[in-house]
Structure formats: structure tokens, C-alpha cells
Amino acid sequence: MVYRTKLPNMASVANPQGDGRLYAPSAERNSAPIIKTIQRIAPKSGQSLEIASGSGQHIVQLASCLPNLSWLPSEVDEDRLTSISAWIAAENLPNVKPPLYLDATEPGWVKNLPQFDFILLVNLLHLISWNEAVILISELPKAMKKNGTVLIYGPFMRSGLLTSVGDKNFHNSLTQADPDIGYKNDLDVLKLFSNSGLSHLETVEMPANNLGFVLKK
């Protein structure tokens, strides 16, 4: 994936804290409902991967709230990898591994990874192209243990429609910055999940008109 530097400001706001850490207001806002959902659906213990960990705020909160899971954060952006490391160091949590450089939009991205019991993907699919999304999702089952669970969270179209003014404005700002990206349609991604061999367990309505897709291998 070419890391997109021309995204609109509202797509990727992360402010430096002066100690290597980045602070993303959106990550702070959505962490509680995401963690609540994960506490309900994730295995009680095992190995977990977060794809596109962003600033690192989520991974330290997840590790704190789900201490029996071992967490591996990953990113493709060097500044965010630095930030993740700084958040981990600041929180001193024993169940978080050092962040991994991982581009999950590249074919074969799973080949050097172990298999995981739980995988989390937050707010990425609308920032990549459809072809990149196909690659990411089609490889997911290879990164999962038998009966492994995935949570994919973010903004989506509903039956091809943008259902709020905020979603329309955000989607339009994304496609103006890069016509290859933008909101994916929920029905299209559900078909993609099925074609990739993932079972769709439920769709969770999340705050701010986001969706959480719970999938199982």
C-alpha cells in the first residue's frame, strides 16, 4: 500500500505529544465501544493481531482491558510505529509485543506471520482501494487459527447509500483526495467475507454510525 499523505484532515488526525507518542482524538472516542464489543466476542486467552494500529492508543487500552490476550500491533507508517512503541513503553504492559511493520494490502502479507486467535481491524477499509481491500480480506483466514475471530470496524455504506450528512461529507472528502478510496458498501464487503471463507456472525451497530463486522474462520 502506498501510504496516502493527501488524505483530508478529518481522515487521519494524530497530534504529536512531544515524547514520540501521537494522540488521535478519534481513537480516544471509539476505544470504549470497540473494547466492549471485543470483551464480548474475543476468546478469553490467546494470540491477537491488530492490523493498522495507528497511534497505538487502542493497543495499550486493549492490553490493559484484556490481559489474558497477547497483543501484536502493526503498522505501515514509520511515525505511527514510533508512536506505538512509545505508548507501549509508557504503559509498561507485559502482554503487548513490539510493533510489527506490516502492509496488509500486499499479496502474501500473512506468509511470515503465525496464526492468531483474534484479529482486529479499525478504520482502514475506507482509506484503501477496493483492490487493496480484496487482498487484505482474502488473506485474513490464512492468519487465523481454526475458530479464530475477527472484528472489522469502520464507516460503511448501507445497501449502497450514505445514511448521514457526516458520512456523505466524509466520503466525498476521501474520494476528492483519491478517487480509489472511500466508503465500501456493506453488502459488497459481506460478499467478500463469504468468498474469502469467513463466516459472518453478526453486524454490530456502533456509535457515530459505524459498523462492526464479527467474523469467524
Q: Which residue has the cell 488473506?
A: 139
pLDDT digits (tens, 9 = 90+) for 142-197: 999 999 999 999 999 999 999 999 999 999 999 998 999 999 999 999 999 999 99
What is the reported pTM? 0.93
Cα 138 to Cα 11, 125, 152, 156, 189, distances in angstroms: 25, 13, 14, 19, 11
Q: How do residues 91-149 score in pLDDT, each as one tens digit? A: 989 999 999 999 999 999 999 999 999 999 999 999 999 999 999 999 999 999 999 99
Q: How far is the C-alpha of 10 from the C-alpha of 31, rounded, in Å?
A: 17
Distance CA 13, CA 15 (A): 7
Cα 176 to Cα 100: distance, rounded to the nearest angstrom:
31
Q: How many other C-beta atoms can be found within 10 angstroms of the C-beta atom of residue 178?
A: 16
CA distance 176 to 154: 19
